[in-house]
Amino acid sequence: MEAILIDELVKVYGDKHHGSDGTMLSAVALQDVSLRIKKGEVFGLLGRNGAGKTTLLRICGTQLMPTSGTVKVLGYDVVREVGMIRRNIVVVPQEGRTMEFVTPWEHVYGFLLLRGMSRSDAKLRTRKTLVDLDLWEYRDTIGFKLSGGIRQRTLVAMALATDADIYFCDEPTLGLDPVARRKVWSVFEDLRRAGKTVLLTTHYMEEAEALSDRLAILHRGRVLACGSLEELRRLVNGRIRVDVGLEFPLKELESYGRVIQQQRSLTVLTDEASSEELVNEALKKGVRVSVRPVTLEEVFLELVSRE
């Protein structure tokens, strides 16, 4: 069963200003978006700024009304059954802020009580989440004394400590250092193992690749592609990346696949058979060479560049 079902979703933002002909100006944020997000999976939304990721997340999280189309969360309609949805979801907004005179413990514990959790359960879950996210030593520090990264982790902790069925996370690790990001990743893994559903937006390709069971790439409000990383790799010409030194003759490389000139190397996107031939040829020439699967970032750039 799908946790989230999206059919032909459209969102148009109207502008208060009018054009020269008197018509109202508008911007199409989402255009005929259809997605199926399964229960128990981490689903990543990728796209450039303005692609429609946050708009889609906010509509699914009942924070924004769609213009047309259908969105159902856990079988409930986001327009007609808002209350039923909000009991079972939690949102980590991109623009969220902690309170200046409230400690991380008070943020998390108080949020759990507001959601109806018992005091004993709230204390246990608050402690576990603060420990898991390396926030325990800051538990009694008031907000204005905390760094931006600690504040962001506190916001994430508030959401992840709940027992929601679906987690809507808009750039949850933005501004976090690499160690803190990995801590958040481990909690997402715990959610997956517990059968929870996560809808995640991120600009970190490594993060999307590491966490997501499936992904959708949005571009100018439309879905360019959707599937697992391996399925997305099949959509581009060349699933293997071979990097060779600049001394390798450029014209010879073009017979192996698409060539991208880098500052310190030449990159060839090719298939498995051609990559093996190219590696052997580079070794014969005494040219340094490395080979690896095409990354999500390269898939993303390839698909978006076609548009």
**Residue pLDDT, tens place only, 230-244:** 999 888 878 899 999
Please determine, for residue 47, whether its predicted confidence score (pLDDT) is greater than 70: yes
**Residues 29, 13: contact at Cβ < 8 Å?**
yes
Whole-number pLDDT of residue 107: 97
What is the average per-residue pLDDT within 269-285? 93
CA nearest to 196, candidates 169, 215, 223 = 169
**Residue pLDDT, tens place only, 5-35:** 999 999 999 764 455 555 555 689 999 999 9
Q: Give the residue, 198 or 238, on which the prediction is more confident.
A: 198
- Helices 148-160, 178-193: inter-axial angle, 10-degree rounding: 0
pLDDT band at 1 (very low <50, low <70, confident <90, very high): confident
pLDDT band at 306 (very low <50, low <70, confident <90, very high): confident
Whole-number pLDDT of residue 24: 53
Whole-number pLDDT of residue 25: 57
212 by Cβ neighbours in 10 Å (0-12 / 13-18 / 19+) ranks as buried
Whole-number pLDDT of residue 287: 94
Please determine, for residue 109, whether its predicted confidence score (pLDDT) is greater than 70: yes
CA nearest to 57, candidates 89, 15, 25, 28 = 89
Range scoring the smallest mean pLDDT among 15-29, 147-161, 215-229, 258-272: 15-29
- What are the backbone dihedrals phi and psi of residue 20, each rounded to the nearest 5 degrees, phi first? -65, -25
For 48, 91, 167, 199, 278, the CA distances from 170, given in Å and listed in that order, are: 14, 8, 10, 8, 41
Strands 214-219, 42-46: pairing is parallel
Q: Give the residue, 238 or 226, on which the prediction is more confident.
A: 226
Beta bridge partners of 241: 269, 292
Angle in degrees, CA 171, 89, 58, rounded to 5: 50
CA distance from start to end of the chain: 33
pTM value is 0.85
Which tokens is 247 given? 């001394």
Whole-number pLDDT of residue 208: 94
Helix, strand, coil shares, percent, the chain, to 5? 35, 30, 35
Q: Give the residue, 25 or 283, on which the prediction is more confident.
A: 283
**Residues 78, 71: contact at Cβ < 8 Å?**
yes
- Residue entry with tokens 């093996």: 276
Domains and CATH numbers, the chain: 2-233 (3.40.50.300), 240-305 (3.30.70)
- Compute CA 17 distance to the chain's CA centroid, rounded to the nearest angstrom: 33
Range scoring the smallest mean pLDDT among 13-17, 82-86, 206-210: 13-17
- Helices 178-193, 119-132: inter-axial angle, 10-degree rounding: 130
DSSP conformational letter for 249: -
Whole-number pLDDT of residue 171: 92
Q: Give the residue, 193 or 25, on which the prediction is more confident.
A: 193
**Residue pLDDT, tens place only, 115-161:** 999 999 999 999 999 999 999 999 999 999 999 889 999 999 999 99
**Residue pLDDT, tens place only, 171-180:** 999 888 999 8
